[in-house]
Amino acid sequence: MRIGLIVHDLEELLERAVEIAFENDLTVYDSVYAALAEIIDATLVTYDEELLGKRGLLKPVV
């Protein structure tokens, strides 16, 4: 049975998440969401004030 899950390279994801974390003074936990959105060219929608406060990390959604 197929359930439609897409598996992404964990090493690439964590490497980018750590970069984003250090560049933006965030936790790696928070940065994983930004890294995955970047890797799959998706829009990250969040109400996390810490992420929202990092200029340039997120693009505004209109």
Tell me the per-residue pLDDT of 23-41, one tens digit each, with 9 for 90 and over.
989 999 989 999 999 999 9
The set of residues, in sequence order, having a beta carbon less than 8 Å from that of 19 and lying 6+ positions away, is 35
pLDDT higher than threshold 80 for residue 59: no
Are the C-beta atoms of residues 32 and 13 closer than 8 Å to each other? yes
CB atoms within 10 A of CB 32: 18
- The answer to whether residue 57 scores a pLDDT higher than 90 is no
User: Which residues does residue 55 pair with via DSSP β-bridges, in sequence order?
Assistant: 58
pTM: predicted TM-score of the whole model, two decimal places: 0.74
Note the pLDDT of residue 10: 92
What sign does the dihedral 50-37-6-15 (CA atoms) show?
Answer: negative
The predicted pLDDT at position 61 comes to 58
* Dihedral (CA of 12, 58, 52, 40) sign: negative
Please state the domain extents for the chain: 10-52
